[in-house]
Each structure stands twice: as C-alpha cells, then as structure tokens.
Structure 1
Amino acid sequence: MASCHSSPTLVFTVRRRQAELIAPAKPTPREVKKLSDIDDQEGLRFQIPFIQFYGNNKESSMKDPVEVIRKALTKTLVFYYPFAGRLREGPGRKLMVDCNGEGVLFIEADADVTLHQFGPSYLLHPPFPCLEELLHDVPGSRGVTNCPLLLIQVTRLKCGGFIFALRLNHSMSDGFGIAKFMKALAEIACGATEPSLTPVWCRELLNARNPPRISRTHHEYEVENKAKGTMMIPLNDVVQRCFFFGPREVASLRSLVPKHLGRCTTFEVITACMWRCRIRALQLDPEDDVRFIYTININAKVNPPLPKGYYGNGFVLSAAVTTSRRLCENPFGYALELVKNAKSNVDEEYVRSTSDLIVVKGRPHQATTRSYLVSNTTRIGLDEVDFGWGKPIYGGPATGGITSFPQMTSVYVSCKNHKGEHVIVVPISLPAKAMERFATELEGMLRHASQPIMGAHQGLMSFL
C-alpha cells in the first residue's frame, strides 16, 4: 500500500497485490530466437513505459478489468510467446530470446480515486505524477537480460474505470510493435479466440549484410570529442514542461517557412522550432557541434516492406549536425532544412548501412553529447486499444523522454484540448534557467509570426 500525491489537490492510496508471473495458456515452442541487429543496439537496452486511462462503461460495469485482462493475457501470450521468455546475451553481445515460457509480470491494484479526480481529459498527458504507483517497479525486474520482458499493472478506480500500465524491454519492440500486442490483448479480452493480425518474428530481415559494409554517413552514432564543449544535461538540475501545438501554433510556424523548402510536415516545423529554441536556451559555445536525431519508421523504406505482423523495432535513427552558432544565428528555415534532410536521407540502403554499422561498431549507443532526439508516437495507435470499456481517455507513452538519457529526448504525443481540437504535446527537459529562456524563445517565435501565445490551459499552446 502506498500513498500518492499527484498534485497539490489530489492524494490517493494504491493497494497492490504481490506481482505474479503470467505464463501462456498453452504450451509454446521451446526455442531460442535471435533479435535483429536493429533491435539489440546499446541505445535500446532499457525499459519504456506506456499507460492507458479508461472510464467506467455501463455495459462492462459487472466485469472486473483485472480478471478480464489477466485471462486475456494468458491467451495472447500463446501467440506472442517470445514475450514470455527471457533475453540472453551471446557472442558479440548478440541478444536472443530464450523462449522458456516463464511469463510476464502482472500486478493487480486498487486506488481510492476516480478518473475525474485526475482532472480534465486534456490534462492527461506525460509526464504522469505517481507513475511509480501506477506501474510499480518490481525489485530485480528492470534488467535487460534474464528478466521479464513485460511488466503490466491494472489498477481499478473507485468510479469503475481503471488504469492499464505496461513497461516494455525496448530491445524487443518499439511503440508500433507493442501497440500490435496490446491490440491483440484487447481483441481477446473482448472475446476473440485469436488476434486479427498474426504476429510475425522475421527479425533476420533487419540483420547486417554478409559481409557488412557501412555505405552511408551516420552522424547519429559518431563518437564525440568529450574533451571539448558542453556535455549532457546534468540530471540534478532538470525540469520538464509540456508545450501544446495546435492549428494556430502550427500555422504560425508555417508562416516562417521559406518558399524554397516547399511542403513541410507538421512534425518538421515543430521539431525545427523546438531544436532551435532548445539550443538557444542552453547558451552553448558558438563553435560546439549540436545534433538533431530522429527516429524514422522504416516499413516504407525497405523492399519488400516488413510484414504487417512484425513487432520488432522497425525504425532507424538519422541525424543532422551543425554548430550552435549556425543554428542560433541563421533564420528558422536553416533548422527546418536540416530536419527535412535528416528525414529524406533515409532509404533502403541507409537502413542496411545502419544494420551493418551496428555490427561493425560493436552495437554502439547513439550520440548523446549536445544531442536532441525526437520520437513521434502520435500515430502508433494506443489510443484505439479497447478492452471492452471503450477507447482510453489517454493512451500512449507514460513519460516525456525516452532512452537511457531522457533529458536529451522529446516524445511527441497527441491529445485533445479543452475545445476538442487535436493538438500535439511536446515535452522537453532542460535545466531550470534554460527552461525559462526556452519558453521566452518559443513565445518570441510565435509573436514574430503574428500569432500570440495564450495562457496555460486557455489556448492551444501552454506549458506546464
């Protein structure tokens, strides 16, 4: 039992039963399955949490979400049986799944709070207070190898709703991959006998070539000169705020786009803005190299495309590098062009070159010094997962930063504001003084574009 202070006005208590191992309902193949060379790079060897908030549903009011999901989980693991195994490390640091059927961790919990007490639906976005209570860190479970690959906690609420939280070993899957698992779990919870989309392993599709050949430039894995310049943001001086970008803010930024850049996506204009404001706020040495890194889905980049049921990591990283001076002193279009080029550089040869580099370089971590890594999760589909209680009020990542260095990352999520309009939520982590400068820089950009910024929770963009 633990008490949680999620805000100055909300205090609640969570009662948990001891974590249990949930194994597949039927015998599954006893085998060893190797991860892809994209899967087992150093930068993915960590745990990533997701969370879903569900309201009460009169049609399901007589059902217990804990029991429904527990039973569905045993059946779903028959199809996704590698999740019930354990990762082992072989020669050359190669990760593989020992499909031993030991099971995934499952926690049953109750909280003396209603969903309404968490606030309006448009306030449900990362970072979530009390995540440690809604997704308990079972001692000894956080390791990459020889540990459960999934940790799930279902917390009943007083109102009849519940919170579903899941922690994933990122080496196994990305956001799209775990969304396929959760959709299958939801389908079986609603009465299906098997998933509508059959899971496919096929991790060899993203393995290095034989012999490997690094044919492209990969700034995202460059070894940095640690003797010079500003290093990573210190963890003891970091605050996180979330910025909302709706139609007005996006239109404001689009008004700054030079005509020669042509069509730009919403993601591109937001990201160029965030990167430029972030570097200005950090006040680095003008000659320091700064790096933007983007996670790019590769399904449309490889031929043939990955199977629809593929649930491994299906992305590569691409980076743009410039100096702090150039990024800060050039117009907005300079940053935007770098972001667009980082995306357009990725084709099938780039993907193959990435797999080869990961093997040749000993499965390295991506660059971290003066880097800003962005992951767009607005379309992974977790907001569609229905266990029988309707779609979640919020469904997606539980934290605003990913990787083992969350202070250098932003995870984009989608939600609706108080007007019911779709907005993109962009969390960012910075030292406290730099955060003040960042907010000023961002407000200045929007004002320069003749689109005033509104106050917190009043307009389409605010910061928390």
Structure 2
Amino acid sequence: MGTRMMGKVRVERGEAELVGPAERTEGGRYWLSNLDQNVAVVVRTVYCYGGGAAAAGAAVKRGLAAALVWYYPAAGRVGEWGEEGKLAVECTGEGAVFVEARADQHLRAVGDVSAGGDPAALLPLVYDLPAAPGSPLLAAQVTHFRCGGFTVGLSMNHCMFDGIAAMEFLNCWSLAARGLPVSPPFLDRSLLAARSPPLLLHPHPEFSELPDLSAGAATLPLLYRTFSFSSEHLMKLKRMVAAEGGCGDGKLTAGCTSFEALSALVWQARVAALCLNPAQQTKLLFAVDVRRRVVPPLPPRYFGNAIVLTYAMSTAGELVSGSLSQAVTMIQTAISRVNDSFVRSAIDFFELTRAKPSLVGTLLVTAWSKLAFHVADFGWGPPQQVGPAALPEKEVVLFLPHGRERNKVNVLLGLPASAMAAFEGHLEPYMNT
C-alpha cells in the first residue's frame, strides 16, 4: 500500500549566478505582514519534465529575469529591521540564485516525486538556501538528464509566497519564459496590517502549547510512507462519513469535502497508531486561504501569505473512540470559524505575542493537492510530476497531487515502524474498493 524510497542521483553543478530583474525596479524596504512573519522557512520542490533539456536552462533563466520585474521583492534580501525585530525585505535587486547541473542518469532515477520521493535522490536537484537574514529569497536549479529530460528544483522562502501566490508567480515566470504576456501581481501587503491598537476578539489555541502526557510516543526513528487515495477511494470515504449521519451536539454538514474526510481519517488513524494517553489533548492544525474571507476581499493575484491556521481539538481517547463523522464535524467547525473577525484577531494576536504554533500533541496538515503546479510550463508542457524535495517533520502530513488528471491524493507522513503498521491497518478498510 505504501510507496518506498529509491536510490541517489549523482549531480554535477555548474557555477551558481545571480539573476536580477530584466529591467530597473523599485528599491527601498518592502513590508511583510504578520501572516508572513511566522513562515520564514525555505520550501524545496522538484518539477520533472520529459524533454527539451538542451534549451531549458536558457528559457527558465530568461523567464525568471522577466518575472522578477513584476515580483521585484523576490530579488531582494530578507532581514530583521527596527526595534521590534520584524522581518522585512530590502529591495536591492541583487537577484535570485540560478544554476544549471547535469545528472549522469535517466530521469526515472529520481523515482516517484509525487509520492514524496527519496531525499537522497531529490535534494541534489535543488540548490539549497539558508533561511538566515541577508539570504536570497529564491533559487532555481535546472538539472539536465542523460535521457533529455530535465528538472527544475526550487528553493523559495515562504515569507514571500503562500501556495497560491507561489503558483501565480510560477505562472508569470513560465509565461514570460514562453514570451507570453503576464498579469502583474498586487504587491501591497498592508491590507493585512495589524490594527492599532490590536484587538483580540477570539481565543487562539492554535498557538497554545498542550501538556505532553505521551512523552516518547513519536521519538523513535521515523519510517516514511505514502498512501495513494484514488477518486474512488475518496468517494467511498465520503460516503462512509455521510452514512454515519449527525453527531455530537451538531450535524455533519452536507457534502463533506475530500479534504475534510481525509484529514479526519489521517488525524484519527495517527493518534490511534501512536497509542497516545487517552487524556492527551491532541490538536489538528491546517491552513485556510483567507483571500475571499476578509472584508473587503483581497485583490486578485495578492502577492504574499494570505493563510491563517485554524484548529480542531480533542482528547486522544475521545478522538479514537468517536466516529469519523465526529472528527469531520470538528474540522468543518474549524473551517467555518475563519471569517474576517478571526483573521484580524489572529493578525493582532501575533502583533501582541510574537507566538509561534506549538506542535506538542499536534498534527499539521499541509495540503498541496489543490495547488496548480501544472502552470509551470516553460515551453515543454506541464511537469510530468511535482513533489517536495525533503520529507516532512514528524508532526506534519503532506497531501500531494497525483496522476495526470490530478484527481488522486498522495498522503505522505512519517511514523515509528510499529505505529506505521497500525496506521496502515486503520486506513485499509477505506482503501479497498
């Protein structure tokens, strides 16, 4: 049921260079919102293409220079500024890192990237960037394979982009690489500024640290597996949830989504597999896009992070003994609370506390399954497969798109070996069609 890892890809890199905007751009300091402050981590992804490697490097580089005219803050350098020590970007125009490389193998050696792949095979395809102040915010590596295929490996500082903004940037980049017109982004992040004075109208347990009653439950070496849910699996899962009907003091919302059902299943199965103390409070965190939830809605092509974390909470005992529909209802409640008032309160909460989410007793779902990775067409068609270049932390599960129609979801996570076997057993009834 699970996908296993493959071997290492040997890569010889050329000299790294800086690619700046193709035209003169604005300078000065670029303000980052509170929703950007907590995510200054580097996200590494790999895009695989079947042919055209000889000219791919020049096209990707040309498109990057053109895209940075519109997205010029991404050519700057991030740092801490002012007495508050908040992050901001100096728009120096120094540029993004670009490097070409060659691999002595066939592209198939990288394995199933959409299933999470093998870091030993994928990390050599990405030019690593530190998240330290003063570092570039973006790096691109084009790796040519012996078969004529190529990969584009990206390192992107999350403080610049959430998933949707990153896809819009990639679309601009790839259109520019093909010489096509682009739509400019909306750069002003002050629409998500904190209020003065800050106003907390909601509790924010998404940031709170839970007492650890299950120390050592997930400290053993991790075994990573990917579980692939077809559209038939997802329909079966949603039918089973719907058949359970109402629960608790509320009713299951009609038409539960694949994300809600799959998140509930993975949360319940993981807690059961880890054999947590029944009294252990456990928390599910996931990001919600707020572009259409704030008032007024954010403009199209908003450049920045427009996501907030929301939460569902339960004791381990209640979660495991309860029905899957109960877990779905908690997730639906978590989504429904994300309105303009909650978003503004979360922004103000960070303004007052500088808090970072605690992951004790927590599962963080990172859903990439609906992102438009296929827009990254640099002239040789959309990528054949896309995936992360690194495995998630032990508290994180990734939902990844899978299949040419992108109608399947790969679930990638790490657990101790004994817990992984129990987790797989919990999923099995939902994956037999």
Normalising by structure 1, we get a TM-score of 0.85
Q: Contact between 1:295 and 1:375, CA under 8 Å: does it hold in 2? A: yes
- Check if 1:14 corresponds to 2:11: yes
Residue 96 of structure 1: aligned partner: 88
1:107 and 1:297, CA in 2 relative to 1: closer, same or farther beyond 3 A? same
Partner Cα distance (1:108, 1:14) in 2: 10
Partner Cα distance (2:144, 2:113) in 1: 20
- Check if 1:371 corresponds to 2:362: yes
Summarize the alignment of residues 120-269 of structure 1 with structure 2, pairs less than 5 Å apart.
124-129=114-119, 130-137=121-128, 141-192=129-180, 194=181, 196-225=182-211, 228-230=213-215, 233-234=218-219, 237-257=221-241, 258-260=244-246, 261=252, 262-269=254-261
1:306 and 1:215, CA in 2 relative to 1: closer, same or farther beyond 3 A? same
1:380-404 deviations in whole A, cap 9, x for unaligned? 2112211000111013543452xxx
Structure 1 residue 168 displacement after superposition = 0.9
1:94 and 1:11, CA in 2 relative to 1: closer, same or farther beyond 3 A? closer
Residue 107 of structure 2: aligned partner: 115
Residue 249 of structure 2: aligned partner: none
Partner Cα distance (1:308, 1:51) in 2: 27
Q: Contact between 1:144 and 1:169, CA under 8 Å: does it hold in 2? A: no
Match of 2:240, SS state, is coil
Structure 1 residue 319 displacement after superposition = 0.4
1:419-463 deviations in whole A, cap 9, x for unaligned? x783111111111211111111111x42xxxx626xxxxxxxxxx
Q: Contact between 1:85 and 1:97, CA under 8 Å: does it hold in 2? A: yes
1:176-209 deviations in whole A, cap 9, x for unaligned? 11111111111111013x5x22012111111111
Residue 409 of structure 1: aligned partner: 396
Structure 1 residue 116 displacement after superposition = 4.0
Amino acid at match of 2:93: G
Over the aligned positions, Cα root-mean-square deviation in angstroms equals 2.1
Residue 371 of structure 2: aligned partner: 380
Amino acid at match of 1:223: E
- Check if 1:48 corresponds to 2:16: no
Structure 1 residue 251 displacement after superposition = 2.8
Q: Contact between 1:46 and 1:144, CA under 8 Å: does it hold in 2? A: no
Q: Contact between 2:274 and 2:419, CA under 8 Å: does it hold in 1? A: yes
- Check if 1:70 corresponds to 2:61: yes
Alignment coverage as a number of residue pairs = 420
Identity %: 30
Structure 1 residue 313 displacement after superposition = 0.6
1:142-182 deviations in whole A, cap 9, x for unaligned? 13311010111110112222100101111111111111111
Gaps of 5+ in 1: 1-5, 454-464
Partner Cα distance (2:351, 2:390) in 1: 30
Partner Cα distance (2:337, 2:406) in 1: 33
Partner Cα distance (1:180, 1:133) in 2: 26
Match of 1:210, SS state, is coil
Normalising by structure 2, we get a TM-score of 0.91
Q: Contact between 1:190 and 1:387, CA under 8 Å: does it hold in 2? A: yes
Partner Cα distance (1:127, 1:158) in 2: 20
Partner Cα distance (1:222, 1:115) in 2: 44
Partner Cα distance (1:310, 1:113) in 2: 40
1:355 and 1:430, CA in 2 relative to 1: closer, same or farther beyond 3 A? same
Structure 1 residue 12 displacement after superposition = 4.3
Q: Contact between 2:286 and 2:310, CA under 8 Å: does it hold in 1? A: yes
Gaps of 5+ in 2: 247-251
Partner Cα distance (2:413, 2:420) in 1: 9
1:307 and 1:330, CA in 2 relative to 1: closer, same or farther beyond 3 A? same
Partner Cα distance (1:92, 1:436) in 2: 47
Match of 1:317 among 290, 309, 332: 309
Structure 1 residue 232 displacement after superposition = 7.9
Partner Cα distance (2:127, 2:93) in 1: 22
Q: Contact between 1:219 and 1:321, CA under 8 Å: does it hold in 2? A: no
1:231 and 1:302, CA in 2 relative to 1: closer, same or farther beyond 3 A? farther
Residue 416 of structure 2: aligned partner: 431
Which deviates the most, 101-110 or 278-287?
101-110
